A = this chain, B = another copy of it.
Amino acid sequence: MESYKKNQNLGSCTNDQKLSHQSKHLLLELYRCDFEKLDDESFLRCTLNRAAKLAKATVLNLISNKFEPQGVTAIALLAESHISIHTWPESNYSAVDIFTCGRNMFPEFASQYLIEALNAEEHYLRVIERNPPAAVLKEARTFI
């Protein structure tokens, strides 16, 4: 199994990509979403992958489960923590969390993408700062 090292240097950043040392946990409620999309396991796996890329995160594993008669859970294990989505198509509702701990992460990009990808007509986003020791923020799992 490939192992991932911490403390590798970041590659080059564009001028508008400021380095940030953050540990954010986004809790996102999505309302009045598209039923079909919320019940489509394959679509949700792809959507989670894309959301992770937009956040500049690295997906190391992705699991999902389809419920009967409807509903899906999908979770991406990231080098920088995780993203999860739990759907209740019968209520056109989805609960998302995006936890990123590392330099130069953009979890809000993932959040905005998920709102649009699931056609959520309403949403409720809470951004919560986690409280790691300072050393964790400097040593977050980042990649070239």
| Contacts from A to B (Cβ < 8 Å) | 3-6, 23, 25, 27, 29, 31, 60-61, 63-71, 73, 75, 77, 79, 81-82, 84, 86, 88, 90-91, 93, 95, 97, 99, 101, 124, 126, 128, 130-133, 135-136, 139, 141
Complex copy number for this chain: 2
Taking CB atoms, residues of chain B closer than 8 Å to A60 are: 65, 73
Q: Nearest-CB distance from A95 to chain B (Å)?
A: 6
Contact A131–B124 (Cβ < 8 Å): yes
Q: What would be 27 A-B contacts, judged by CB atoms less than 8 Å apart?
A: A3-B66, A5-B69, A6-B67, A6-B69, A23-B95, A29-B131, A60-B65, A61-B63, A61-B65, A65-B77, A67-B79, A67-B141, A73-B81, A75-B75, A75-B82, A75-B84, A81-B86, A82-B84, A84-B99, A86-B99, A90-B135, A91-B139, A93-B132, A95-B99, A95-B101, A95-B130, A124-B131
Contact A67–B25 (Cβ < 8 Å): no
Q: Considering the chains assembled together, what is the distance between the CA atoms of A4 and B73 in angstroms?
A: 12
Q: Considering the chains assembled together, what is the distance between the CA atoms of A97 and B86 in angstroms?
A: 15
Using CB atoms, name the residue of chain B closest to A88.
B136
Shortest 4 CB-CB distances between A and B: which pairs?
A3-B68, A91-B133, A88-B136, A91-B135
